[in-house]
């Protein structure tokens, strides 16, 4: 039995939530990636205590903050990171754009997986560099960036790969062998890797998150890793992120806009992240158990809906559904008309697919799945 109640339903409609305010009241919104669970009590209490102080001036980084992150990385991933490699940033997304703009030349080329969380692609696009979308292959029901797909997309001037592990959408967790292949290709072809590992804290049992930069010295030398506890502990509206970059030159390039184009991190980010690091692990494990049981429910239900196929989920709460066999032109519209808002595939540059956020109490998930079954039966 868990000490935490993930079954509790909360009304988020009057909280200016992006997810809950977009559609009319009756729709169940399973699109944007935040969960309907309260952050761990230790985090909420720490924030309350600080709120009671009543003065919210500019904040400096708490003492030894990067050392604490470094210890956390050692404990969670057995990864040795010198605190001087860590730079605190307000969000992962800003760092994706900074990497594309600052770390390669204007005439150099970027590799981006497809499908992927849209900001990886848009960061490449907005940087005005040429880029190629590398189609993920389906290996044992997992969306995977393979050696073949990567080599097919490579150009002579490819100098940056945007990588996402665990992958969004779908939650693939890369194995050591798969990561080694990617690092070898990066090394042979001399490109850097920007690895978005924001979902690393929610890897399911039997799988293991391996930061790609921890694979070897060569990997560490050419990687910018982006991490945050925002997703895992469900405080993206308050939290912060960090980047890890061993190479001094690369680190200076990617961080040069902090304090100008990229704002400094603020007080609630520091407080929530520090508490989650110090006292949040019990809650995190309970969350993973709950997400695993939601995944099982989702898998069982989707398997019975004709025309839908769910790829295997190894982490986090973002399932990727293939609707290519569903006899409808616009699956997103179909489910919306039946009261469920999913994230349309075009956000990830893949039509006839939908992403479902199952980081919600079971009762809500069951209701959404019932509506989806009715929708499928209606076409
Ligand atoms: C892969 C990935 N990267 C980044 C983000 C957003 O990160 P942040 O809120 O720190 O900018 C998300 C949010 O869904 C995500 O899934």
Q: What is the pLDDT of residues 245-302, one digit of tens each?
A: 999 999 999 999 999 999 999 999 999 999 999 999 999 999 999 999 999 999 999 9
CATH number of the domain bearing residue 240: 3.40.640.10
93 Cα to the center of ligand 1, angstroms: 6
3-state secondary structure of 379: coil
pLDDT for 337-346, tens place per residue?
999 999 999 9
**Residue 1 contacts by C-beta under 8 Å, 6 or more apart in sequence?**
none
In this prediction, residue 1 has a pLDDT band, given cuts at 50, 70 and 90, of low
Average pLDDT, the chain: 97
Q: How far apart are CA 69 and CA 142, in angstroms?
A: 30
Give the nearest ligand 1 atom to 241 CA: 10
pLDDT for 79-130, tens place per residue?
999 999 999 999 999 999 999 999 999 999 999 999 999 999 999 999 999 9
* Tokens 């509790």 -> residue: 8
* Tokens 């292949």 -> residue: 181
Count of domains observed in the chain? 2
pTM of the model: 0.97
343 Cα to the center of ligand 1, angstroms: 15
Return the C-alpha torsion angle 262, 268, 272, 277, nearest 10.
Answer: 50
| 130-135 β-sheet, strand order | 86-89, 241-245, 223-228, 192-196, 158-164, 109-114, 130-135
For residue 58, tell me if it sits in a domain.
Answer: no
Q: How far apart are CA 161 and CA 138, in angstroms?
A: 20
Last residue of a domain, one of 253, 279, 305: 279
Mean pLDDT of 29-50: 98
Please check whether residues 293 and 357 belong to one and the same domain. yes
Which domain covers residue 311, as residue numbers? 18-41+281-378
197 Cα to the center of ligand 1, angstroms: 9
Please check whether residues 114 and 101 belong to one and the same domain. yes
Please check whether residues 235 and 275 belong to one and the same domain. yes
Please check whether residues 144 and 260 belong to one and the same domain. yes
For residue 56, tell me if it sits in a domain.
Answer: no
Please check whether residues 148 and 233 belong to one and the same domain. yes
Mean pLDDT of 201-206: 98
Last residue of a domain, one of 240, 257, 279: 279
3-state secondary structure of 42: helix
Please check whether residues 239 and 294 belong to one and the same domain. no
Last residue of a domain, one of 249, 279, 309: 279
């Amino acid at each position: 039995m868990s000490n935490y109640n993930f079954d509790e339903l909360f009304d988020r409609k009057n909280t200016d939530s992006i997810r809950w305010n977009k559609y009319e009241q009756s729709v169940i919104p399973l699109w944007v990636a935040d969960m309907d669970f309260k952050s761990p009590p230790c985090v909420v209490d720490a924030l309350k205590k600080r709120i009671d102080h009543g003065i919210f001036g500019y904040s400096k980084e708490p003492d030894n903050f990067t050392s604490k992150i470094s210890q956390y990385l050692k404990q969670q991933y057995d990864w040795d990171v010198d605190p001087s490699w860590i730079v605190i940033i307000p969000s992962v997304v800003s760092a994706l754009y900074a990497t594309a703009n600052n770390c390669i030349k204007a005439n150099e080329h970027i590799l981006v997986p497809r499908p992927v969380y849209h900001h990886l692609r848009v960061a490449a696009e907005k940087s005005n560099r040429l880029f190629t979308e590398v189609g993920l292959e389906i290996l044992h029901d997992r969306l995977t960036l393979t050696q073949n797909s990567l080599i097919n997309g490579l150009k002579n001037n490819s100098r940056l790969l945007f990588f996402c592990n665990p992958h969004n959408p779908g939650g693939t967790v890369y194995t050591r062998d798969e990561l080694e292949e990617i690092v070898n290709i990066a090394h042979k072809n001399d490109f850097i890797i920007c690895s978005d590992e924001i979902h690393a804290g929610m890897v399911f049992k039997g799988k293991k998150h391996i930061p790609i930069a921890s694979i070897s010295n060569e990997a560490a030398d050419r990687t910018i890793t982006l991490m945050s506890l925002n997703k895992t502990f469900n405080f993206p509206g308050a939290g912060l992120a960090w980047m890890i970059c061993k190479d001094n030159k690369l680190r200076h390039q990617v961080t040069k806009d902090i304090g100008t184009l990229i704002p400094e991190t603020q007080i609630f980010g520091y407080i929530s992240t520090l508490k989650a690091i110090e006292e949040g692990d019990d809650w995190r494990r309970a969350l993973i158990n709950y997400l695993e049981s939601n995944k099982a429910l989702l898998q069982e239900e989707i398997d019975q809906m004709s025309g839908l196929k769910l790829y295997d989920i190894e982490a986090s709460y973002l399932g990727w559904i293939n609707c290519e066999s569903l006899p409808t032109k616009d699956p997103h519209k179909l489910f919306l008309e039946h009261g469920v808002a999913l994230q349309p595939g075009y956000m990830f540059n893949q039509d006839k697919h939908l992403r479902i956020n199952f980081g919600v109490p079971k009762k809500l998930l069951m209701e959404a799945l019932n509506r989806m079954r009715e929708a499928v039966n209606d076409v």
